[in-house]
Amino acid sequence: MSSPLSFHNQHNSMEKRNILEKHLLSRCYDSESIIEQLLDTRYSHGGDQKPVIVFKKTFPEKEKQKSILHREISDKSQTITKSRKHNARLQLRNYIKQTTSNQKKLVHKIQKHNRECIAKSQQIPFPIEAMLKRYRIPRYEDFNNLSHLWQSYMGDLLFSNGTIPTMSVLLPKLSSADYTGCLLTVTQSRNTNMVGTRGIVVVDAQFSFILCVPRSELSKEWNESKESFTPSEMVGGFRMVPKKGTLFSFDVIVPKKISIEEGNENNAADSDDHDDECVGFTLIGSRFEFRAVDRAGKKFKSHTVDDIL
C-alpha cells in the first residue's frame, strides 16, 4: 500500500534518471511508447530487467565505389572546367571585337575632324591622347614586356648550347615554336594593303595573327621620317592579319655571351649595349595555318608552291 506520493516520487526519480537515455533513444526510434517500453525493460523493478539498451543501428550514407585513379581534389579553384575555358575564349573574342570597333569609331572621328578642318581652313590638332584613353585603345608599349619574354624564350630555345647552331638545327625548332609576343613585320602579301604592317603578336590564332601595332612614326618601316600620318596610323591598336598568302619576318636577338664567344674581331671592339646582333627569319604564313597546339607535334611535308604568295 504505497502512498500515491511515494509512487509519484518514485516516478519522478525514474523520469529524472532517464532523460539522457530518452534523448539518445529518440534518435533511434520515433514513437514515445516504444521508448517507454524499452526503458521499462531496462530499469523496472519487475519484469525482465535486461542489462542493456539496444540502440537501433544507424546506416551511414553508402559510399560510392571510387576508381583507384580518383584523386581527392582539395581546392575547387585549381580545376579548369570546360565552362571556364569556353568563357575565357568568349571573353577574348569579345575584347578583340570591341577594341577593333572602338578603333574604327576613333578613326571615323579623326576623319570627321579633318573634314571640318578643311571646311574651316584652319589646323586644329586632334586631341589624340585623350581620345585614346577614352576609347581604351591598347598601346603598343604595354606589350613590351611580352616581347622581352618572347625574346628570352627564343634565346633559350635556339641558343641553349652556348654556340650558334647551324640553320638545319634552328629551323625545325622554329617551325614548332609559339609566336605570341613576337615582333612580326609583313614583308610580302597577296593583299598589298597589309605590306609593311608590323607589331607584337597578341593572339596566335589558327588562320590569322592579331598584332598590336605601334603608332605614328613607328607604324611602318618607311614612316620613320614622315611628319603627317593617316588616321589609322595615328590610332594604332589591334590589327588582324590573315596568315594565308603572306610572308612575315622577325628577328631573334643573339644573347650577349654567345656572340662574344664567336671571337669575331669586330665584336671585341664594339661589344657595348648599343648594337646587338640578331638573326633574321621569314615565316611562310600559308604553311602555318594550324593552332600552336597542333603545330607542336606536326610533321611538315613539302607541298606545291602555288599558294605561298
Distance separating alpha carbons of residues 209 and 96, to the nearest angstrom: 12
Interaction between residue 156 and other proteins (CB under 8 A): no
| 222-241 binders of other proteins (CB under 8 A) | 222, 224
Least distance to other proteins, CB of residue 125, Å: 25
Task: Please pick, from the candidates 172, 230, 291, 293, the single residue that binds other proteins as defined by CB under 8 A.
Answer: 172
Task: Please pick, from the candidates 214, 236, 237, 255, the single residue that binds other proteins as defined by CB under 8 A.
Answer: 214
Interaction between residue 267 and other proteins (CB under 8 A): no
Least distance to other proteins, CB of residue 304, Å: 3
Contact 11, 5 (CB under 8 A): no
Interaction between residue 32 and other proteins (CB under 8 A): no
Written as nine digits, the cell of 215 is: 603608332
Distance separating alpha carbons of residues 134 and 106, to the nearest angstrom: 10
Q: Which residues pair with 115 in a beta bridge?
A: none
Interaction between residue 15 and other proteins (CB under 8 A): no
Backbone phi, psi, residue 267, to 5°:
-65, -40
Interaction between residue 208 and other proteins (CB under 8 A): no
Interaction between residue 145 and other proteins (CB under 8 A): yes
C-alpha distances (whole Å) from 23 to each of 28, 55, 258 are 9, 12, 82
Residue 193: DSSP 8-state? G
Give 39 or 252: the residue with its C-beta nearer to other proteins. 252
Contact 196, 221 (CB under 8 A): yes
Least distance to other proteins, CB of residue 74, Å: 39
Interaction between residue 308 and other proteins (CB under 8 A): yes
Give 99 or 151: the residue with its C-beta nearer to other proteins. 151
* Backbone conformation region of residue 237, classed left if phi is above 0, alpha if psi is from -120 to 50, else beta: left
Distance of CA 144 to the CA centre of its chain: 18
Interaction between residue 141 and other proteins (CB under 8 A): yes
Interaction between residue 209 and other proteins (CB under 8 A): no
Least distance to other proteins, CB of residue 99, Å: 22
Give 35 or 202: the residue with its C-beta nearer to other proteins. 202
Interaction between residue 125 and other proteins (CB under 8 A): no
Distance separating alpha carbons of residues 45 and 222, to the nearest angstrom: 112
Contact 241, 194 (CB under 8 A): yes
Q: Is 247 helix (H, G, I), strand (E, B) or coil?
A: strand
Of 163, 239, 252, 157, residue with least CA distance to 201: 239
Give 240 or 284: the residue with its C-beta nearer to other proteins. 284
Element (H, E) at 147: helix 144-158
> Quick one: which segment of 13-21, 39-47, 118-126, 284-292 binds other proteins (CB under 8 A)?
284-292
Least distance to other proteins, CB of residue 294, Å: 13
Interaction between residue 82 and other proteins (CB under 8 A): no
Written as nine digits, the cell of 42 is: 531496462
Interaction between residue 257 and other proteins (CB under 8 A): no
Residue 2: DSSP 8-state? -
The residue ranges that bind other proteins (CB under 8 A) are: 141, 144-145, 147-148, 151, 164-168, 170-172, 174-175, 183, 185, 187-188, 198, 214, 218, 221-222, 224, 247, 249-251, 253-254, 262, 273, 275-284, 287-288, 300-306, 308
